[in-house]
Structure 1
Amino acid sequence: MAKRFKNKTALITGSSQGIGSACALRLAEEGADIILNGHKFDERGEKLIKQIKNLGRKAEFIEADMSKVKSVLKLMKSAVKIYGTLDILVNNAGLETKADFLDVTEEDYDLVMNTNLKGVFFATQAFAKYCKDNKRNGVVVNMSSVHEEIAFPHFAAYCVSKGGLKMLTRNLASELAPIGVRINNVAPGAISTPINKELLANKKQLKMVLQNIPLKRMGKVEEVAAVVAFLASDDAAYVTGSTYFVDGGLSYDYQEQ
């Protein structure tokens, strides 16, 4: 595999499992040294560090709560110190809570919005400041969702956070271009990850979901990671402010209905 990220370092938030860990492995395979992140360093992080080191790359793990700005800023400062540079930020950390709109609590709303949008906002701000102060180019890839476009009943706060992320990315593409920072979104659809374990275990519900996907299957985390790698690389040097859907045609088919 081509080493598109030779001499590059990347921070992937929320990278203990699922799409985040797949992104970490893909970037490491292509030559990047990796900074992993999660709420807590556990056996998942240990396994991932071992996998990355087996690829001949360096890996470290930093605990941080992406819903708290103080924790986010500490993470960004620590990330730069580890290898002395930081070239790529993948804002992958995110969560969702299911509830009827009439039952959503302020606590649930704040948790989703703070993690999925506020944390991304201030992590990106800190990264952009670092790039500007050190006269370095940088790349940001945000993990959005098809639900930046498609309604998702009972997940209102989640949809609002991803819709906000779409606009944030478009706005920052313009504002950060003069300092050499590109920013894009990747919007997965139905992907086989731990967050979808209930769906994968419910054959009836899974069948209904697959009926709405033109490719008639769930996506793989590696397929999302491949698009992240493209956007983070110089192959996408003229791409900024865009959302790339990785959804088997779900969003296009939905818009055509």
Structure 2
Amino acid sequence: MSSAFDIAGQTAVVTGGGRGLGLGITTALLDAGVAVHVLSRRPPDERIIEQAAENGRRLVHHELDLSDRAALPRLAERILADEEIDILVNNAGTQERHPAVEFPLESFDRVIDINLRSVFQACQLFGAPMVERGRGKIINIASMLSFQGGLNVSAYAASKGGVAQLTKALCNEWAPSGVNVNAIAPGYMDTEMNTALVADPVRSEQIMVRIPAARWGNGEDIGNVAVFLASGAADYIHGQIIAVDGGWLAR
């Protein structure tokens, strides 16, 4: 029996889908029966490649450096020449920490370039066919720093604030054409990017005290929400930044 939550047989592109939260998103989509193109500098973990093969799922890795502005259009053209993309997840990102008065401009530009410019570029490239055919799902990965300022992360906060506003702007243009553009804002996640925080007993405890769910999040938490937003059950959700934070923002 068909269900509004069923997305089996669709095809997705996930940037940075080979590790961290991206791997959680890729895994959840594969489990839901979706073929996944992972765009990243490094291939996904061997375990997910083997699992996809064992379950008869299609997982294709495309090596891509998102700081190369010419690379993404070339790759998108090749992918779209072969098949339709139903779901785009803009997950790839980078982080640099410096006090604002000392933040190197080249570092600031690099964070904005990867975290915001490449998101817009991917939305343009894969979103245009969605708009033309009148359906598609775009899911951007925002951040708690889409809402908060953080400390020593001015470039990252600016980029993720931009992702939130870009999500709303594209919603206004593309929702009438049947394309859903939404974002997920992860809270504190137990991933490679936060290894030092998790290992710091003082800072980790300070963070945990503020999370009503009393635990750090993980890739599965984000992947499950991505599957929901990619499904027909979310057809009337447009332009939203959904916090998946264990209640962090509520405290």
Which residue is 1:31 aligned to?
33
Q: 3-state DSSP class of the match of 1:147? A: helix
Give the letter aligned to residue 33 of structure 1: A
- TM-score normalized by structure 2? 0.94
Q: 3-state DSSP class of the match of 1:69? A: coil
* Greater relative CO, 1 or 2 (CA 8 Å, sep 6+): 2
Distance 1:55 1:114 in 2: 36
Distance 1:199 1:220 in 2: 14
Distance 2:150 2:18 in 1: 26
State the superposition RMSD in angstroms.
1.7
The answer to whether the 8 A contact 2:4-2:233 is kept is no
The answer to whether the 8 A contact 1:173-1:241 is kept is yes
The Cα shift of 1:69 comes to 2.3
Render the CA deviation track for 1:164-198: whole Å, top value 9, x for unaligned: 11111011101012322110000001011111111
Distance 1:16 1:78 in 2: 20
Distance 2:22 2:81 in 1: 21
Render the CA deviation track for 1:2-32: whole Å, top value 9, x for unaligned: 9722220001100111111111111111110
Q: 3-state DSSP class of the match of 2:70? A: helix
Q: 3-state DSSP class of the match of 1:160? A: helix
Give the letter aligned to residue 16 of structure 2: G
Aligned positions of 1:110-129 closer than 5 A = 110-129=109-128
Task: Rate the CA distance shift 1:47–1:81 in 2: closer, same or farther, 3 A.
Answer: farther
- TM-score normalized by structure 1? 0.92
1:72 pairs with 2:55: no
Identical-pair percentage: 31
The total of aligned residue pairs comes to 249
Distance 2:139 2:5 in 1: 19
Render the CA deviation track for 1:103-133: whole Å, top value 9, x for unaligned: 1111111111011100000100111212234
Aligned positions of 1:102-251 closer than 5 A = 102-133=101-132, 135-251=133-249
Which residue is 1:50 aligned to?
50
> Which ranges in structure 2 are unaligned for 5 or more consecutive residues?
none
> Which ranges in structure 1 are unaligned for 5 or more consecutive residues?
none
Aligned positions of 1:7-22 closer than 5 A = 7-22=9-24
Moved more, 65-74 or 213-222: 65-74
The answer to whether the 8 A contact 2:4-2:232 is kept is no
The Cα shift of 1:51 comes to 1.9
